[in-house]
Chain A
Amino acid sequence: MFVRRNPQLNRNDELIHLLSIEGLPASIVHHILDTAGTFLSVNDREVKKVPLLRGKSVFNLFFENSTRTRTTFEIAAKRLSADVINLDIARSSTAKGESLLDTIANLSAMHADMFVVRHSESGAPYLIARHCAPHVHVVNAGDGGHSHPTQGLLDMYTIRHYKRDFHELTVAIVGDIVHSRVARSDIHALTTLGVPEIRAVGPKTLVPGDLKEMGVRVCHDMAEGIRGADVIIMLRLQNERMGGAMLPSAGEFFKTFGLTAEKLALARPDAIVMHPGPINRGVEIDSSVADGKQSVILPQVTFGIAVRMAVMSIIAGNSA
């Protein structure tokens, strides 16, 4: 069989696309987090811009709706002085029957330098990276249930900011893991950075046993899952999972796996609570926890902009 090259690295093992955290060396992850740290101060300046991507065109291609992620990418690109073009593909060309690769070919002809792609199918950014011009960079902004690497990286930035060291942490990820690209990216990032205990917590319909192979401990009991945790990452529960065969109701989920102040008391006293947003209050998390002093949900958003600036500036500096 063939040994396939990791398509997000060039021959010198430098990052040219960001498609997944899986397979990235820890050195690259740390480099992104360090770079994000330097950009964080840009966000606090009077003039919030650096000229690293001046003259470059960044196309936000969102084949699946999103406001938050797209906005943070847009802000990040603008703070790097790039020209940003937002395309709401979900409602335009594909609706007219144009294929994904035709869309990409057309946008490439408009001299795009970077595509930020969100798609409902796992692997779509790989297809785009494989078929776009060599000078074009692709950032995966979420593909199906596969990967959401910038979210994973901003979560790592957040953990590093509050906990400093990864090597003695217990991290619990709670909720709909089977459908979550955020959970997968977090798991890859946490294992890459040397976190010794990662727990995946939820009912068997949402937390498959196969996850063990990704290096996590699978817990089907909330108390067992969060006891002694340093970090709790709550996942958003999609409404469409409710009322089918996955879960009987939002109420029952909240009762069994929702994070309340009572359950949070089982974690370490200095534990932080994270959530990729947008949150469902009273479904996966209680308001008193989401707004409580252990919550770092809003700082995550701020860090997200710096991390996306770091990713875009790093890949733009490397060539295929």
Chain B
Amino acid sequence: MRRLKLDRRGRLLFALGVVFFAVCVLAARWAAHEAGSAKHVMAKLDAQRAGASSLAASERKYREALDRFRAASLPLEKDVECGWVLADIERAARAAGVRVTAVRPEPRVEGFFRGHLRAVPYRVEVVGSGPAAEAFLALAEGIGVAELRSVSVAAVEDPGVPPATVRCSALFVLYSLNPPAREEVFPVPEARPDVWSPLREEVAPGG
């Protein structure tokens, strides 16, 4: 550079060249930055235009998907921890001709199937004839969406018990959505004045 001796015009040109080159580089970088931003914003605008224009179609698809889901999940809508389960168990026992000796609900299991659904195990014991016990199992497996997981049927040979009597212990699992879409409950019953007084005869549930 020491040998590069320029006159005043040369120095002016050199300075102008350096200045404009620097400005050029800065302007190029600025333009590239602005172009990148504009491209990003335009892409976003295009996406929003597409989204806005497809709003009606999205609503229609959502309604259709909701209808399909409701149709598919209709048997699983009811809460299986409500009182109707016990009522149905008793109804099935009466229909089959067995006597329910024990019902033991177990803690519910949530998200057991791909992180979804809820299951409530019910351990039920009944006593009756063999065919009646079979009928009860078939009827009980029709309560809501239920599944018989295990069963044990054994003849009862105790004195005073009629022959061919069996004791059936079954583990049912009742399924629902997690959480259930519908909680179906009995209405609050009419209260009796003295609920500690033993009853002499059977009354209807809730009566």
Q: Do A and B come from one complex?
A: no
A contact residues vs B (CB 8 Å cutoff): none
